[in-house]
């Protein structure tokens, strides 16, 4: 009996399948970046970030394997100011605890690099990637490599004269992580769209401007949160809504020149983080109201409502973390919430851009 010839798979179905594979790969990488941010936050909160005093991109993936290796790593740690001024007398077992936090953070960074690079190379060699997508993914890969360098640049700041890392470099490190996270999300959202989204043609659309402003404000708040963490500013003034018994506390401009207070005065840094949070909450609520009036009960309004609710929840999380003097579990929840909100606002901006005018 003659078997019927198999029907060729339609080209559209092949393209759809390829895009789905690329999409799920990028989502997996995005989730790993999200986990990396949380692990980095835990490393900071447990004061573990300076436990590895060398940068070995390849060999550093291998942890100490015997007591001699551990003794060598511990001896190097004992030479830096953090041990001498803060952790003098620390036991080897205590050192191992902070070492594993930092090693895990670095190892995950290496793993993300492999998980991104190997499929990217395979998709490119297979001809699955358009020229534009290839360049976007290559850009993300370059940002990932830069992030590794930035991480070591940050650690270097705490190995000589300081007992912790520079808050400036910490903020740059977290900001770059947020940029990579956003680039992955936006690439996923744009897959298969071609040139359908044209933001320039919607410049006069108030909802686009409002949503884009929320993206900027939330990114700014993530960076401001890094300065709070870098200065341990959450460990003081653990009251709300007042600070030191006042709505506007004294000492906000204690340093000179005045702009140094924005980055080096723990009181000012925490105050600014609160003010930006209030502004974001108010903006999100007004944005939701504007979306409801302009678009009715469609996907834009629904997305604005979800975003506003998430932002309010994140603000409550921040207050809860502050009142408890930044316990690890609450701080981790707050940091996770920041990146969830960042993802939601990017998705919402894309929704606004792609809806018919």
Residue 274 neighbours by CB distance under 10 Å: 19
d(CA 211, CA 342): 12
Alpha helices in 157-265 (DSSP H): 167-190, 206-230, 261-264
Interval 283-313: pLDDT, tens = 999 999 999 999 888 999 999 999 999 999 9
Q: Are 171 and 230 in contact (CB under 8 A)?
A: yes
Residue entry with tokens 């600014």: 272
Torsion of CA 285, 288, 290, 295, to 10 degrees: -170
The pLDDT value recorded for residue 296 is 86
d(CA 140, CA 151): 16
Helix (H, G, I), strand (E, B) or coil at 348: helix
* Mutual angle of helices 328-354 and 167-190, in 10-degree steps: 40
- Chain length of the chain: 357
What pTM was computed for the model? 0.93
Interval 157-206: pLDDT, tens = 999 999 999 999 999 999 999 999 999 999 999 997 754 445 444 544 89
d(CA 59, CA 223): 32
Long-range CB contacts (within 8 A, 24+) of 235-242: 235/325, 235/326, 236/266, 236/267, 236/270, 237/267, 237/270, 238/322, 238/323, 238/324, 238/325, 239/323, 240/319, 240/322, 240/323
Residue 149 neighbours by CB distance under 10 Å: 12
d(CA 114, CA 120): 10
Low-confidence stretches of the chain (pLDDT beneath 70): 1-8, 194-204, 357
d(CA 214, CA 218): 6
The residues, ordered by sequence, that sit 6+ positions from 3 with a Cβ below 8 Å of its Cβ are none
The pLDDT value recorded for residue 216 is 98
The pLDDT value recorded for residue 14 is 80
Q: Are 298 and 355 in contact (CB under 8 A)?
A: yes
The pLDDT value recorded for residue 195 is 43
Q: What is the DSSP string of 297-310?
A: SSHHHHHHHHHHHH
Please tell me whether the peptide bond between 227 and the residue prior to it is cis, using omega within 30 degrees of 0.
no
Residue entry with tokens 């300065």: 227
d(CA 198, CA 296): 23
Interval 255-264: pLDDT, tens = 999 999 999 9
d(CA 351, CA 346): 9
The pLDDT value recorded for residue 7 is 64
Q: For the chain, count helices (H), then strands (E).
A: 11, 0
Q: CA 300, 306, 308, 310 torsion: positive or negative?
A: negative
| Token reading at 229 | 């963490």
**DSSP bridge partners of 246:** 243
| Token reading at 355 | 């809806």
* Mutual angle of helices 167-190 and 131-156, in 10-degree steps: 160
């Amino acid at each position: 009996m003659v078997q019927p010839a198999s029907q060729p798979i339609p080209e559209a179905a092949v393209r759809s399948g390829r895009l789905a594979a690329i999409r799920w790969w990028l989502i997996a990488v995005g989730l790993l970046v999200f986990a990396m941010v949380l692990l980095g936050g835990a490393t900071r909160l447990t004061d573990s970030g300076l436990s590895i005093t060398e940068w070995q991109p390849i060999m550093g993936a291998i942890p100490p394997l015997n007591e001699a290796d551990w003794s060598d790593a511990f001896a190097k740690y004992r030479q830096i100011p953090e041990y001498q001024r803060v952790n003098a007398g620390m036991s080897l077992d205590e050192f191992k605890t902070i070492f594993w936090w930092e090693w895990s953070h670095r190892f995950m960074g290496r793993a993300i690099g492999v998980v991104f690079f190997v499929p990217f190379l395979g998709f490119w060699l297979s001809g699955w990637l358009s020229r534009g997508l290839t360049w976007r993914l290559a850009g993300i890969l370059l940002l990932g490599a830069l992030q590794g360098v930035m991480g070591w640049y940050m650690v270097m700041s705490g190995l000589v004269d300081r007992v912790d890392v520079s808050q400036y470099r910490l903020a740059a490190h977290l900001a770059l992580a947020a940029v990579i996270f956003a680039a992955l999300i936006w690439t996923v959202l744009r897959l298969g769209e071609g040139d359908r989204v044209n933001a320039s043609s919607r410049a006069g659309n108030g909802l686009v401007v409002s949503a884009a402003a929320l993206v900027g404000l939330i990114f700014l708040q993530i960076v401001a949160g890094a300065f709070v963490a870098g200065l341990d500013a959450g460990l003081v003034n653990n009251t709300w809504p007042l600070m030191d018994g006042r709505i506007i506390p004294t000492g906000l401009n204690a340093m000179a020149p005045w702009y140094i207070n924005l980055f080096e005065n723990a009181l000012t840094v925490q105050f600014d983080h609160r003010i930006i949070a209030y502004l974001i909450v108010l903006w999100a609520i007004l944005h939701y109201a504007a979306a409801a009036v302009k678009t009715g009960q469609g996907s834009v309004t629904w997305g604005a409502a979800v975003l506003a609710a998430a932002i309010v929840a994140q603000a409550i999380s921040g207050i809860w973390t502050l009142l408890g003097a930044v316990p690890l579990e609450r701080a981790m929840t707050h940091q996770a919430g920041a990146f969830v909100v960042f993802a939601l606002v990017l998705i919402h901006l894309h929704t606004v851009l792609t809806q018919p005018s």
